[in-house]
């Protein structure tokens, strides 16, 4: 067995005491953890030290590079069109990837969208798409490339060969209270996106109660860190800071969000989902060098819908099949006449999770039809006794805990006092 360059305790102590880690220490630690030489409890100690003491830009860039080096890199240079991808830091009702990928492809830019599953209160794109009968998330690299060449868009799971260090580290962070460490969030996201080989990347960094970053200052720090990592790696990278105090659209769940996404592709859908889809599409097209196409036209004329149907069929799904619906529903009524002043994203996300739309552990199954539907958005006038929310689940014993998570999650105020609403797109970085 070859001698190791460092030992884990030396690296942990250095970061515990607030010292920057050397390139050699970082390279060794990530590689040794991937190989199983560094134990989970040792990496847990290091990630906690990173959470508490941070990393400078050089350390984060080196950590990201070490995670990329742990696996393969994809190459889309054989494609005849430019590539662009988008990543959201996760929220409630965030179904934007579903209409966005086919829309950008309809404008002439290939979209290799590697997506994940939901955990806790945030939904997962793959879980949503798996509610479509027959659709499959797992594609080989060759299948992914062929679909990009033919259809122009693919949404699928990352293969095991892409940044395997991140896969191992992500699971560890989730159970050790270190998910929120900005250097680790940034390197986790960017190692996969850089290894994926996209030419341009647009980041949707969520801010607010339903986001991992609760304050604008933290979201801005994360966005700036990721834009710097992408730029340093030669990927054209920009970030939008977007509001996640209120959930997106009118649904949170799996099949519920697919249905809403199809409405957007058909030229309808909630205004905020359309606004954010178009804002991100314009950023992706500009980053890929395509400036002569207005994505709003592609939504209006049905070409984005055509790409959606081809993309779903290419992965074994039936875009015309009826989507699953939950067996049971419970309606929450508006308590008074007035204006809905607030609908808290975290409360709605927890309710959807408790109804069966999400998972507590990676191996848990999700219900395709479970979730929450809301019939008003902040700023809307409501009347006492009208349906405010509808809860969906296959298991009625889940309603009680879901209702408990919604307590205090919305306010109805007298009609004269209009609430102050946060703009959806707060800022652009990059």
For the chain, what is the mean pLDDT? 94
Domain presence at residue 25: yes
Using CA atoms, how far residue 19 sits from 11, 28, 178, in Å, is 10, 17, 19
Among 172-176, 305-309, 341-345, name the one with the lowest average pLDDT.
172-176
Phi, psi dihedral angles at 326 (to 5 degrees):
-70, 150
- Which residue among 31, 85, 94, 166 is the active-site one? 166
Per-residue pLDDT band for 4 (boundaries 50, 70, 90) equals confident
Q: What is the mean pLDDT of residues 205-217?
A: 94
The count of domains in the chain is 3
8 Å CB contact between 135 and 315: yes
| pLDDT at site 416 | 84
| pLDDT at site 111 | 97
| pLDDT at site 374 | 98
Q: What is the mean pLDDT of residues 116-125?
A: 79
Question: Could you confirm whether 344 is annotated as catalytic?
Answer: no
Whether residues 144 and 14 share a domain: the answer is no
Question: Could you confirm whether 87 is annotated as catalytic?
Answer: yes
The pLDDT of residue 78 is above 90: yes
8 Å CB contact between 124 and 117: yes
Torsion of CA 389, 390, 391, 394, to 10 degrees: 180
Question: Could you confirm whether 173 is annotated as catalytic?
Answer: yes
Question: Could you confirm whether 330 is annotated as catalytic?
Answer: no
- Which residue among 6, 86, 87, 121 is the active-site one? 87
| pLDDT at site 240 | 98
Per-residue pLDDT band for 117 (boundaries 50, 70, 90) equals confident
Per cent of the chain over pLDDT 70 is: 98
Provide the CATH number for the domain around residue 208. 3.40.1030.10
Q: What is the mean pLDDT of residues 102-124?
A: 89
Which SS3 state, helix, strand or coil, does residue 107 take?
A: coil
Note the pTM of the prediction, 2 decimals. Answer: 0.94
Domain presence at residue 213: yes
Whether residues 31 and 130 share a domain: the answer is no
Within 10 A of 276 (CB to CB), how many other CB atoms are there?
A: 24
The pLDDT of residue 3 is above 80: no
Phi, psi dihedral angles at 204 (to 5 degrees):
-105, 100
| pLDDT at site 420 | 86
- Which residue among 95, 128, 168, 192 is the active-site one? 192
Per-residue pLDDT band for 2 (boundaries 50, 70, 90) equals low
Per cent of the chain over pLDDT 90 is: 86
Whether residues 266 and 355 share a domain: the answer is no
Whether residues 266 and 386 share a domain: the answer is no
Whether residues 286 and 334 share a domain: the answer is no
The pLDDT of residue 22 is above 80: yes
79-103 pLDDT, tens digit each? 999 999 999 998 999 999 999 999 9
Which of 35, 56, 59, 45 is closest to 9 using CA atoms? 45
Whether residues 239 and 277 share a domain: the answer is yes
Domain presence at residue 425: no
| pLDDT at site 400 | 98
Whether residues 353 and 212 share a domain: the answer is no
Distance of CA 422 to the CA centre of its chain: 21
- Which residue among 86, 117, 121, 173 is the active-site one? 173
Whether residues 210 and 257 share a domain: the answer is yes
Whether residues 210 and 154 share a domain: the answer is yes
Q: Domain range spanning residue 156?
A: 84-314
Whether residues 237 and 292 share a domain: the answer is yes
327-354 pLDDT, tens digit each? 999 999 999 999 999 999 999 999 999 9
Whether residues 240 and 102 share a domain: the answer is yes
Whether residues 292 and 391 share a domain: the answer is no
| pLDDT at site 212 | 87
The pLDDT of residue 275 is above 70: yes
| pLDDT at site 179 | 82
Provide the CATH number for the domain around residue 48. 1.20.970.10
| pLDDT at site 245 | 96
Phi, psi dihedral angles at 203 (to 5 degrees):
-105, 130
Question: Could you confirm whether 7 is annotated as catalytic?
Answer: no
Distance CA 94, CA 165 (A): 27
Domain presence at residue 133: yes
Q: What is the mean pLDDT of residues 315-334?
A: 97
Per-residue pLDDT band for 123 (boundaries 50, 70, 90) equals confident
Provide the CATH number for the domain around residue 403. 3.90.1170.30
The pLDDT of residue 176 is above 80: yes
- Which residue among 88, 188, 245, 405 is the active-site one? 188
392-416 pLDDT, tens digit each? 999 999 999 999 999 999 999 999 8
The pLDDT of residue 109 is above 80: yes
Q: What is the mean pLDDT of residues 263-283?
A: 97
Distance CA 24, CA 28 (A): 6
């Amino acid at each position: 067995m070859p001698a190791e360059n460092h030992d884990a305790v030396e690296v942990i102590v250095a970061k515990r005491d607030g010292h920057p880690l050397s390139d050699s220490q970082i390279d060794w630690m990530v590689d040794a953890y991937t190989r199983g030489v560094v134990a989970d409890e040792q990496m847990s100690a290091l990630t906690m030290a990173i959470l508490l003491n941070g990393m400078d830009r050089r350390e984060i860039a080196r950590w990201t590079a070490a995670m990329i080096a742990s696996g393969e890199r994809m190459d889309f240079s054989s494609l005849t069109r430019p590539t662009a991808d988008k990543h959201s830091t996760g929220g409630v009702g965030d179904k934007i990837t579903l209409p966005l990928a086919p829309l950008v492809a309809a404008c002439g830019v290939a979209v290799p969208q590697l997506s994940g599953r939901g955990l806790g209160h945030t939904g997962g794109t793959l879980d949503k798409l798996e509610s479509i009968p027959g659709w499959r998330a797992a594609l080989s690299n060759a299948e992914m490339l062929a679909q990009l060449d033919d259809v122009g868009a693919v949404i699928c799971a990352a293969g095991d060969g892409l940044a395997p260090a991140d896969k191992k580290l992500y699971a560890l962070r989730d159970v050790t209270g270190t998910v929120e460490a900005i250097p680790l969030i940034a390197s986790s996201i960017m190692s996969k996106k850089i290894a994926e080989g996209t030419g341009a990347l647009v980041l949707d960094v969520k801010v607010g109660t339903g986001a991992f970053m609760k304050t604008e200052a933290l979201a801005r720090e994360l966005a700036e860190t990721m834009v710097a990592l992408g730029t340093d790696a030669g990927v054209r990278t920009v970030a939008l800071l977007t509001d996640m105090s209120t959930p997106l659209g009118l649904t949170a769940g799996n099949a519920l969000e697919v249905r809403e996404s199809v409405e957007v592709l058909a030229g309808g859908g909630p205004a905020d989902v359309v606004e954010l889809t178009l804002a991100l599409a314009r950023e992706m097209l500009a980053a890929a060098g395509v400036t002569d196409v207005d994505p709003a036209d592609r939504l209006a004329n049905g070409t984005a819908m055509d790409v959606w149907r081809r993309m779903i069929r290419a992965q074994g799904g039936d875009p015309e099949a009826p989507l699953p619906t939950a067996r049971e529903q419970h309606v929450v009524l508006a308590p008074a006449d007035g204006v809905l002043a607030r609908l808290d994203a975290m409360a709605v996300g927890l309710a959807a999770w408790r109804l069966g739309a999400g998972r507590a552990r990676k191996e848990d199954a999700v219900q395709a039809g479970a979730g929450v539907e809301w019939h008003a958005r902040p700023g809307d006038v409501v009347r006492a006794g009208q349906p405010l929310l509808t809860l969906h689940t296959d298991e009625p014993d889940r309603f009680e805990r879901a209702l408990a998570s919604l307590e205090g999650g919305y306010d109805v105020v007298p009609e004269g006092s209009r609430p102050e609403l946060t703009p959806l797109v707060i800022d652009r970085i990059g």
